[in-house]
Chains A and B, each alone.
Chain A
Amino acid sequence: MKIDAYEKLFLGLTVVALACFMGALAAAVNRHGIRLPHPTARVDPAALRAAPPPPFDQLGLVDKGGGAYDLNLLAAMWQYEPFFPDKMEAGVRVPAGATVTFNVSSPDVIHGFKIKDTNVNVMVIPGQVSTVTHTFDAPGVYTVLCHEYCGAGHHRMYFKLHVDPPAAAGADAGRAGGES
């Protein structure tokens, strides 16, 4: 089959462009360490409330020492427990430089878990444990939100993660943060 010279050139450039994209992705993964979520553990959704297995027997922030923290959460209709509606705005505080490992699972339906201005973005699927780690270098107030439809109250499901400046830990961190 005959393909005209211009078209061959165009398709050649397409292949080159796609190869560049794939190269850039390989660099993002291997040189910069940006990774997709992957399987860590499974859990019985019914047990999450009745007889929670670790790490969900200890909801909220757990200081592991050395600037490392676990934040164990139940993504449920329609809050990230333990941040019930009156605690969503206050949320949780960590110092700048903290490395936080989020363990999230759902006792009911599919939820989402995204932190604004970061690469933290993972689905929360009943039966699976979603585990992602992020180091918060920039102080500010991060909005953590549910980005999968989870029923009539989906638009109320969020909390705030406050990253305090290193020198002024405990000072007013309620101002708008992030690099928007």
Chain B
Amino acid sequence: MSATAGFTLPRQDERYMLWQVYLGLAVFMWGIFAGLAQALDRVLPSTSTLWKLFPGQETYYQGLTAHGVFLAIGFTFAFSNGFMLLVASRAFERAPNRAVNAASFWCMTVGAVLVAGTIVLGKANVLFTAYPPLMAHPLFYLGLVLVVVSTWLTGLAGALLYRAWRRDHPDARTPLQAFAFLATYAMWFIASLGVAVEVLGLLLPWSLGLFDKIDPQLARSLFWFSGHPIVYFWLLPAYLSWYTMIPRQVGGKLLSDPLTRLVFLLFLLLSTPTGLHHQYTDPGIDTWLKNIHLVATMAVFFPSMITAFSVCAALESGGRARGGRGWFGWIRKLPWDDPSVTAQILAMIGFTLGGLSGLVNASYVMNLVVHNTAWMPGHFHLTVGTGVALSFMGISYWLIPHLTGRGLVWRRAAVVQAWLWLIGVFTFSRGQMAGGLESLPRRLSVSQMSYGADIPAWQTSHLLTGIGGTIMFISGLMFGLIVLWTVLRGPAAGRVDMPVADAMVHGPDEGWPVLERWPVWIGLAVVLIVLAWGPFFLTYEWNMVSTGVAP
């Protein structure tokens, strides 16, 4: 049953994956360093000499651009590319096409250099959303294109693996982990077409001067076509780990293989018809269109609730197998001394609160209370900033030993690191959300702001955000040092194997055969996207009126 027994991935193929993971982690360290400056901006005056310690961050917004772009796009994409392709290769028991794998790595590297370079030189102070008519250097947009192309190449490498495997196994069920890879990258490929059209069709030629004027409302909608499903592209690699690895790591059973597949397929179907809920307050979009996306957004809550049940059930079965008794006794019996498990369970706790706060954001007119306030960073530091980032840290605690053959150093510090992150993000998000409910805007330099000193609730918010963000940075720094020391000085302990949850209550054979029919699911996904986005793109009249403005 184990998909990995007896198969060894050639070292050269692994190396591209390992280096893509390293690149992701390096970008992560840079991103959280920029994040520290944001946290300190809440509690230090703008005249402090401490700001000189942050090179490449001449202004708050330059640092904020680095923070958002490096963490939300660089870290997540590069880490997922390396991690997910490794999982797919092991599950299919095949080496990926080496040229495609190498091209993915080099696209990511060159893209990261272009994006980071333009940001550090102050040529791209446009933040992660890069809304025109704020204009960045063309090389910034080109770098973003390469980073996205890198994810397409990794998806292609996985698809080629599937084709070759299917030829040899015409009637078999796709290995579960490989199935999760395929659903994730299929979803993202379709979803990323919006931002591809935005950057290649509008932003890049416009920044090159091929045309003068651009439509900011249209560009926003193309961005959010991809901008909501991107959160599931961040999240699904973590879900893969929670569903198909964590049960093994805690000694429990995966509840249902077919239901797991269905969840990934539901994300393929429902991720993209939701983007307009980021534009509830846009003046140029009709409310009936916003209504459609409200319904789809509520629907996408459903697979996450299945996940909550399944993942808890797997944890409980592990805790009981380890001797846990009673309603809650199994919780104490979980392997809390294993940093990989602890980090991911804490990530799930953070993500639960993040997901629930996301329901508030999605709730149509209730969005008026929180839209573009500090509530939002409070929300997404719990989801992508903890559910995903802390899971990736937990995954790294076996992945780095697996790929390097070095034993993990300082295990106890790694457990402390995970708890610190959760304490930090709870403090941070409590501050941000409380401020947001009092209309404190997001994406704003607090140390320089010229108003708000007369609003007491904001002062509490700044303090908690500053303290929480600093704790998160300390935790992230500990993580970076543990990984670095493992790579450089870890004991040559032999390879830790990749966890595969092959113990299941309901196995793959119980699933409907249609779960394997990709044309059906991809076709359905396209139909839903056409239904949700078609009316907007068909009825929207272009309004190319804005010339570029330097931020």
**Pairwise interchain contact A39-B285, C-beta atoms closer than 8 A:** yes
A18 to B365 Cα, complex, angstroms: 16
- Sort chain B's interface into a size bin: 35 or more
Chain B residues near A156 (CB, 8 Å)?
448-451
Query: How many chain A residues touch the partner (CB < 8 A)?
Result: 65
Give the distance to chain B from A83, nearest Cβ to Cβ, in Å: 12
Give the distance to chain B from A55, nearest Cβ to Cβ, in Å: 14
Chain A residues near B306 (CB, 8 Å)?
7, 11
**Pairwise interchain contact A121-B368, C-beta atoms closer than 8 A:** yes
14 contacts between A and B (CB under 8 A): A6-B309, A7-B310, A14-B305, A25-B366, A119-B369, A127-B215, A127-B284, A143-B452, A149-B61, A149-B444, A151-B549, A156-B448, A156-B450, A180-B455
A108 to B134 Cα, complex, angstroms: 9
How many A-B pairs have beta carbons closer than 8 Å: the answer is 212
A40 to B64 Cα, complex, angstroms: 33
A121 to B436 Cα, complex, angstroms: 13
Chain B residues near A100 (CB, 8 Å)?
none
Give the distance to chain B from A153, nearest Cβ to Cβ, in Å: 9
- Complex: chain B residue closest to A122, CB-CB: B281
Asked if B326 is at the interface (CB within 8 A of a chain A CB), the reply is no
**Pairwise interchain contact B372-A14, C-beta atoms closer than 8 A:** no
Partner pick for B456 among A44, A131, A180, CB 8 A cutoff: A180
Once A37-B281, A131-B283 are accepted as A-B contacts, the answer to whether A14 and B366 lie under 8 Å apart by CB is: no
- Taken residue by residue from 111 to 154, chain A's Cβ proximity to chain B (1 for < 8 Å, 0 otherwise) reads as 01011110111111111111100000000000101111111101
Listed stretches B256-264, B344-352, B391-399; interface member: B256-264
- Complex: chain B residue closest to A142, CB-CB: B439
- Complex: chain B residue closest to A114, CB-CB: B439
A117 to B458 Cα, complex, angstroms: 13
Chain A residues near B298 (CB, 8 Å)?
18, 21-22
Give the distance to chain B from A71, nearest Cβ to Cβ, in Å: 16
Partner pick for A147 among B280, B294, B373, CB 8 A cutoff: B373
**Pairwise interchain contact A1-B545, C-beta atoms closer than 8 A:** no
**Pairwise interchain contact A151-B134, C-beta atoms closer than 8 A:** yes
- Complex: chain B residue closest to A124, CB-CB: B283
Chain B residues near A46 (CB, 8 Å)?
545, 547
Once A22-B298, A152-B59 are accepted as A-B contacts, the answer to whether A128 and B217 lie under 8 Å apart by CB is: yes
A151 to B125 Cα, complex, angstroms: 8
Give the distance to chain A from B231, nearest Cβ to Cβ, in Å: 19
**Pairwise interchain contact A28-B284, C-beta atoms closer than 8 A:** no
Asked if A45 is at the interface (CB within 8 A of a chain B CB), the reply is yes
**Pairwise interchain contact A108-B133, C-beta atoms closer than 8 A:** yes
